[in-house]
Amino acid sequence: MPFYDDDGNELDPKDIIMPKLCNNCKKNGLPEEQMLCTLIRFGCKNEDEFECGAFEQLNLN
């Protein structure tokens, strides 16, 4: 499914760097979460600090 910005330009998820926080999230890599995670990363791409309200810490135990 393609993604578009507010001006109708198609966005490529491969152009967005994966924030380090995502590597420690339970939702990282889950197909059912991919769309939400991609949209959050797009929304934060021009921010100085990445914040994600959907983040859930990965259990490393």
Q: What is the pLDDT of residue 25?
A: 96
Q: What is the pLDDT of residue 22?
A: 95
pLDDT along the chain (61 residues), means of 10: 86 89 94 93 90 91 66
Q: What is the pLDDT of residue 5?
A: 84
Q: Which residue reads 């059912």 in tokens?
A: 32
Q: What tokens does 30 get?
A: 């889950």
Handedness of CA 39, 51, 54, 61 (dihedral sign): positive
As a whole number of angstroms, the distance between CA 9 and CA 7 comes to 6
C-beta separation of 3 from 10 below 8 A: yes
**What global pTM score does this model have?**
0.81
Q: Is 42 helix (H, G, I), strand (E, B) or coil?
A: helix
